[in-house]
A and B are shown apart, each in its own frame.
Chain A
Amino acid sequence: MSRALFARTFCCALFCLATLLVGGVACGAGAGEGGGDHNLPSRLAGPYGKLSPDPDTEIHEPIVLEDPQGELAYYGPSALFNADGSYTVYFTAEGELEGAHIRRAEGVDLAHDPSDVAVVLEAEETWEATRVAQPSVITPGILGAPLGLFFEAGDGNIGYVESADGLVFSRIGEGPLLEPEPDPSGPEGGAGLREPSAVWSGHRVLLYYSAGSPRSIFVASVTPVGDDSVAVSRLDADEVSPGRDPVLSPSGVVDSFDEVGLGAPFVSISNEVGREVFDLWYVGLDAGGDRTVGFAGSHDGLGFGRLDQNPVLPRGSPPEGDPCVVGHSTTAVMFYTQGAGDARSIGAARYP
């Protein structure tokens, strides 16, 4: 083989290989789908889409929890994610005759009816009257039990109980954890405290609740004292301004979804870069009386800013409330109350 012949042969081989590769490319052989957009960071703020009706499931999407007899209103969910992929949901069951109590549903999986529903807390104390409602669970409890549960009781008190098994709860202290301010001219307006949401922040629990008129969201700090009691102190969201301020007030913006009132906070904390970031889902009330869910965030748990893309559940009937979000890295499920009055039940929505 001469040198020139070898060079020509080599060039021909190169050309053939290149042709094959170009042909492969033209046919799309071996090409991936185009990555770089998997597992992207997200606050899981929304928007959320309600579960779509599916004839193959046992539930009536988007409703995941409802009274089989249709006699009780189910509302105010607080959910925990289980290792088997299902959820344990604590919620309020309320009827005309029996008042409001708290139940636990096991095995909620967004496709089947719960495997078990049990009553876990009923009104017993005078300050609870006939009503314990709006549970908010934390793990672990403030005094060391595996589970703690805050709840709304009576005429606007907030109570706290702990449990070793999630079924039997023991009350902490004699009276309510937090009562309405005695001074009606105070920042909470002497009104009842509603819809508690608790979250661990360092060595304390931050307890968010709605109060005041117009209704706004306030926060208090709860810390253990000894082995069997807790101390609560209300926090001022803005220490610069006089008086104690809520962490979030109605926007006052005409036609906004939260123009005239806020409530039902749900707070979670993430910490990706060494600082806590607070995620707050809440219910906004517009001037027409409609309510839906929005999102706000904070770097200190006190001063919150609203998401530009609010609300995170589409506005419209039926009204939604009491959000509770369970995040899974880059996806999330929101449990919420759908409907009003006795027709309330618990629905679910997904992100994204």
Chain B
Amino acid sequence: MTSSLGLRGPLLAAGVVLVPALLLALLGGETDARANPMDAFGLSSRAISMGGAYTALANDVSANYYNPAGIVARGDLSLDIGYQIAVPVLKLNGRNVGVDHTRGLTAGIVAPGKVGPVRFSFGVAMFLPDERISRVRAMPRVQPRFVYYDNRTQRIYLSTNLAVQVVPGLYVGAGVTFMSRTEGDLELSGRISFPDPEAESDMRLDLDVDLKALRYPQAGILWEPLRWLSLGLVFRDEFVLEMVQGFRITGDVVGEGGGGTILRDGFFGLTSLSTNLYQPRQVAFGIAVTPIPRLIFSMDVVWAQWSRFINPGSRLEIDLDLGSFNDLVDMESQPPPPHPRFRDTWTSRLGVEWLAYRSTRAVIAVRGGYAFEPSPAPEQTQSSMNLIDNSKHHISVGLGFSLSRLIPQMDRPMDIDLHFAYVHQQRRIHRKEDPADPVGDYVATGYVISAGLTMKLRFR
């Protein structure tokens, strides 16, 4: 394809990418808090080092996350494997609260095919944490927590997609992402002696924990109208990971020393329902231009529907049957957790790639990126709520090495990409309205450092 605008076209388009991105970065208000590990840290080193501005550039395995349509753009059989680690240092009142780091293997494949004239590709990408596949965790409702990170990045991620080429330069794709969900029940049954439960009790413990899959859809369009211009549009649906933990005691209460049955078939049940992870519905628009052959600019604007965020605080349900003793028990029901009053957010991302060195055997690319994620969370003034989040400035750099004929049998270069990213958490003050709030005022600050590498193999 050739440009009808000549050199002015690419330069104008570069301006179209850069100017709005800078304006958005400068004028962006408060907001942020995302969910799964890919949302929080990104997938694959090239994309991360370009600030995550990858919706219009994604044409490799990472397109499984950034834009499903991109997996068919190249038509190669691609294999990716990598490793990435993110270390949060998040502080309240200047003290590190010890949010867990996230690290693990990234891997994926794109397999092309053709049915008649129609080209298609099937893709899979995954993030496999090497510390834990999933974690169940319920915290007191008022306990301060960084909602964006917290427990949210501690899980496996698997995305599968199918994309087709509509016409050359126009691709559509869709798929499903799987996340892990955990449910658990603990049941005690048997006989309890009274008044000394240690004396003649005979209880049996049953523990039943399930790791269940949960799915949400995503879809995307990738359009390359000109050789130097590509556009992408992606939709990722909302999903909610709820955690259900049950605790039940059933049995008889008996008097000591053959004192007879005091209560037959007594029952106490407690169920804790909490939102372990929330991902907002997202729409991302991306544009990428190549104003001169060795330079690529890309920009993403992402809308996230955080206004539907659900308070992760536990909701307790208590069920009790103590027979004739029921009248003696007065258990107040717990009010539901307050609405978190999160706001929708607009995130802007900007990336650049420069091919610094190019020969027949190797290409070296230097990359950089910046993103501003405003926080969707309001100032935490309520006494019963401490859902902490800061606006974030992402600064990333990376290197890419594309090595040709490294292995004689390979007819495509092998790519090795490295990235390093620093996410600055914008200082935020939370003042409590209640003068007797047990947590009190606090300042949230911190940063997240992440690094990783990705190796890409492609076959014709």
Taking Cβ atoms with an 8 Å cutoff, the residues of A that contact B are 1-3, 6-7, 10-11, 14, 17-18, 21-22, 24-25, 28, 30-32, 34-43, 45, 270, 272-275, 277-278, 295-299, 303-309, 329-330
Contacts and interface: CB of A to CB of B under 8 A. Distances in A.
Most chain B beta carbons < 10 A, residue from A21, A30, A36, A298 = A36
B435 A298 contact: yes
B174 to A, nearest CB: 25
Contacts, number: 140
Contacts of A1: 407, 409
B410 A3 contact: yes
B79 A14 contact: yes
A6 B410 contact: yes
Given A31-B131, A34-B100, A275 B441 contact: yes
B97 A42 contact: no
Given A40-B144, A43-B440, 7 more contacts: A10-B79, A14-B81, A25-B129, A25-B131, A32-B101, A38-B98, A273-B429
A40 B430 CA distance: 14
Nearest to A41: B442
B437 A6 contact: no
A37 B130 contact: no
Contacts of A43: 437-440
B438 A42 contact: yes
A1 B439 CA distance: 65
Given A35-B98, A38-B97, A41-B93, A304 B79 contact: no
B92 A307 contact: no
B133 interface: yes
Interface residues on B, range: 35 or more
A37 B97 contact: yes
Nearest to A276: B441
Contact of B440 (A30, A42, A306): A42
B436 A36 contact: no
A192 B145 CA distance: 47
Contacts of A309: 438
* CB-based closest 9 A-B pairs: A35-B98, A39-B95, A297-B436, A38-B98, A41-B442, A297-B435, A31-B131, A305-B436, A273-B441
A12 B98 CA distance: 37
Interface stretch (B41-49, B55-63, B135-143, B234-242): B135-143
22 contacts: A3-B459, A6-B407, A7-B77, A11-B79, A14-B79, A25-B132, A25-B133, A30-B130, A32-B131, A34-B100, A34-B135, A35-B99, A36-B98, A37-B143, A39-B95, A41-B144, A41-B442, A270-B440, A273-B429, A275-B431, A297-B437, A307-B436
A40 B105 contact: no
A272 B441 contact: yes
A41 B98 contact: no
Contacts of B95: 38-39, 329-330
Main secondary structure of the interface of B (DSSP, over half): loop
Given A25-B129, A35-B100, A272 B440 contact: yes
Nearest to B457: A10
A31 B132 contact: yes
Contacts of A275: 431, 441
B418 interface: no
Interface in B191-213: none
B128 interface: yes
Contacts of B135: 34
B233 interface: no
Contacts of A2: 409
A27 B409 CA distance: 39
A64 B98 CA distance: 34
B411 A3 contact: yes
A25 B133 CA distance: 7
Contacts of B151: 34, 36
A198 to B, nearest CB: 20
Contacts of A3: 409-411, 459
B107 interface: yes
B435 A305 contact: yes
B96 A38 contact: yes
Most chain A beta carbons < 10 A, residue from B101, B146, B438, B442 = B438
A296 B438 CA distance: 9
B440 A277 contact: yes
Nearest to A26: B133
